[in-house]
Amino acid sequence: MNQAVTYFSQSSMVMLIGYLIYIFVYQKEGYFSFNRVYLLATLVAAIFLPMIPINIDRLFGNIPAMATVQYPMKTVNEILLGEVTIFADGNRINALTSIHWVSWISLIYLLGLLVGFLKLALRLIRLVRVIAMSEKQQHLGLIFVIMPDESPIFSFFHYVFISRDVLNSPNASQQIIEHEQQHALQLHSLDMFFAELVTVVFWFNPFSYLLKNNMRENHEFMADEAVLTQHPDAVYYRMLLINHSSIVENQLLTHNFSYSLLKRRLFMMKNVKNPVRMVAKLLWIFIGSALALVACSGPSEKEGSSPQDEYYTNSLVSIDKDSVLVQTSMHPDEGYVVFLVSLGKERRTQLKLYDEYGKLIKTFMGDIWGPGTYGITWKSSSGENLPAGTYTYLLTADDIQQTGVFSYNTQKTEKLPDAEIFTVVEQMPDYPGGMKDLMSYLSSNIHYPEQAKKDSIAGRVFINFIIEKDGSVSNVKVLRGIGSGCDEEAVRVVSSMPKWKPGIQNGEAVRVSYNIPIKFALH
């Protein structure tokens, strides 16, 4: 979802930049063919530019070197499972089945998209029906669809919708027909159909409608200019427009003699082109392009990075392309912690680190990162050992968020080989029935403690546990709790889980550590 929000936000920025430059720089110039290309290019850029990964550093050649390292992991103590939410009123949801607010936003957008496509389809069907049921005459490469008297005059591709009295009027018909013929020859309806599709997809964006209206207006200027080139009597042509302009726009997909555009069209007919001024204004193309690139770019440098942060790639872990994984590697004897962030595909990624009081300590990454596993070394800027304590991290990778807790102990510990605990192995442990059944088990068996309800206690309890070589659950402990019985309830249910299928490394069953967040919510 975050990726979609980023895309639409960047597209809106490109449209805004293009629209403002057009309104204040190019709209009043008489170079209508240039304006046509500019407006089309703005819509095309708004669609495709946000899809291209853009990094300002790379554009200017400031690419930090990144070495590929096979980094030996020491004690990696966590893999985060999906969050389970327990409500005080007895309702239970989990990370696999909950309907998040982003789902409602997605649903609203899809409904708007569906309505837009239906309206467009109905307008096309209505045009086809009018064409099929009306009398038609063919002349000068155009098909004239005979409409009732007093009907507005409009065109769609090579169809001209015109009343019989206007068509048979020799004084009015020639220049009107030539005007509509210019729309057909210059394929203006193709531009408008493309603009209509853009407004359907970006139905929530007002700038898509404004750009479409600018495009329709510019088409009228282009047709007027072509007619006046052949018939220099501008006074007569202006009177013709006044007499045959329609107050009602018959079809938004078509070009018509619209009264709402009349004043602007009359003004542009008197406009005098200034080539020198126009050449000078071309500079705004480069300014607008630069602004659009900045709007669609990630941060110019990795947020929160410093000389003490070390980024490198690691090939020890491979995950599915739709997955994200965070691990921590403790190095108390050297005084630093390593985060291993594994991405299955390119994502805009940010890792935030908080202390036990929820205060933000540091922000890592903060840019678009390709698939792979990235090691991030966190150490003190003063060269001293990191303080012992409990820390929380929040990883945001496009529409995925993972929260975890780890405890950092500065005391050196020795582990026997038989007691080695893994977090990533060749074959990860499996809960009977899969992750969906695990979430269902937890949400069905964890009960909101009465004391917590009485004390109005809510929050997340982070539980760490180990899947033993025989698949049993052991060493269940609270990494961070909220009290009032919630911690004990979470430990009770996790401890009573049935046996898992154990993890396998080098053909042998091994011990594997997991973390799971359990959220207690009053409402």
Indicate whether 42 belongs to any domain: no
pLDDT higher than 80, residue 486:
yes
pLDDT higher than 80, residue 26:
yes
pLDDT higher than 90, residue 18:
yes
Indicate whether 335 belongs to any domain: yes
Regarding whether 92 and 110 lie in a shared domain, the answer is no
Contacts of 510 (CB under 8 A, 6+ apart): 420, 422, 425, 469, 502, 503, 504
Regarding whether 144 and 246 lie in a shared domain, the answer is yes
Contacts of 125 (CB under 8 A, 6+ apart): none
> What φ, ψ does residue 246 adopt, rounded to 5°?
-105, 135
Indicate whether 494 belongs to any domain: yes
Q: Which residue has the higher pLDDT, 6 or 93?
A: 6
Give the C-alpha distances (Å, rounded to integers) separating 218 from 183, 184, 233, 329.
Answer: 11, 15, 21, 62
Nearest CA among 498, 485, 497 for reference residue 447: 485
Range list of H helices, 169-282: 170-185, 188-201, 206-230, 234-244, 262-269, 275-281
Q: Which of 413, 433, 452 is the last residue of a domain?
A: 413
Confidence of residue 258 (pLDDT cuts 50, 70, 90): low
Indicate whether 40 belongs to any domain: no
Rounded-to-integer distance, Cα 320 and Cα 304, Å: 28
Regarding whether 397 and 422 lie in a shared domain, the answer is no
Indicate whether 14 belongs to any domain: no
- Average pLDDT of the segment spanning 434-462: 86
pLDDT higher than 50, residue 207:
yes
Nearest CA among 162, 195, 193 for reference residue 178: 162
39: tokens are 């407006």
- Average pLDDT of the segment spanning 192-218: 93
Rounded-to-integer distance, Cα 280 and Cα 284, Å: 8
Regarding whether 154 and 86 lie in a shared domain, the answer is no
Rounded-to-integer distance, Cα 44 and Cα 225, Å: 26
- Average pLDDT of the segment spanning 493-516: 88
Q: What is the pLDDT of residues 48-99, one digit of tens each?
A: 998 887 765 555 554 443 333 333 333 334 555 666 677 766 655 554 444 4
Regarding whether 184 and 116 lie in a shared domain, the answer is yes
Indicate whether 363 belongs to any domain: yes
Q: What is the pLDDT of residues 340-384, one digit of tens each?
A: 787 778 888 888 888 777 788 888 887 788 787 777 887 766 656
Quote the pLDDT of residue 102: 57
Q: Which of 362, 378, 413 is the last residue of a domain?
A: 413
Burial group, residue 117, by CB count within 10 angstroms (0-12, 13-18, 19+): middle
pLDDT higher than 60, residue 229:
yes
Q: What is the pLDDT of residues 117-171, one digit of tens each?
A: 999 999 999 999 999 998 888 877 889 888 887 777 788 888 888 888 777 776 6
Contacts of 428 (CB under 8 A, 6+ apart): 503, 512
Give the C-alpha distances (Å, rounded to integers) separating 84 from 417, 434, 447.
Answer: 34, 15, 12
Quote the pLDDT of residue 172: 60
Buried b or exposed e, range 361-394, using 16+ CB within 10 angstroms: ebbbbbbbbeebbbbbbbbeeeeebbeeeebbbb
Number of domains in the chain: 3
Q: What CATH number is associated with residue 367?
A: 2.60.40.1930
Are 192 and 255 in contact by the 8 Å Cβ rule? The answer is yes
Regarding whether 320 and 398 lie in a shared domain, the answer is yes
Regarding whether 373 and 486 lie in a shared domain, the answer is no
Q: What is the pLDDT of residues 393-443, one digit of tens each?
A: 888 888 777 777 766 665 554 444 455 777 777 788 888 888 778 888 888
Range list of H helices, 313-434: none
Indicate whether 90 belongs to any domain: yes
Are 7 and 50 in contact by the 8 Å Cβ rule? The answer is yes
Quote the pLDDT of residue 201: 94
Nearest CA among 154, 147, 151 for reference residue 177: 154
Regarding whether 449 and 351 lie in a shared domain, the answer is no
Q: What CATH number is associated with residue 488?
A: 3.30.1150
Q: 130: domain range?
A: 101-203+232-261
Regarding whether 197 and 247 lie in a shared domain, the answer is yes
Regarding whether 470 and 421 lie in a shared domain, the answer is yes
Are 59 and 293 in contact by the 8 Å Cβ rule? The answer is yes
Q: Which of 387, 413, 439 is the last residue of a domain?
A: 413
Are 123 and 251 in contact by the 8 Å Cβ rule? The answer is yes
Quote the pLDDT of residue 255: 54
Q: What is the pLDDT of residues 273-331, one digit of tens each?
A: 888 888 999 999 999 999 998 888 754 444 433 434 444 444 444 455 666 767 776 66
Say which amino acid occupies 129: R
Regarding whether 255 and 173 lie in a shared domain, the answer is yes
Range list of H helices, 49-203: 56-59, 101-133, 164-167, 170-185, 188-201
Indicate whether 70 belongs to any domain: no
Regarding whether 381 and 422 lie in a shared domain, the answer is no
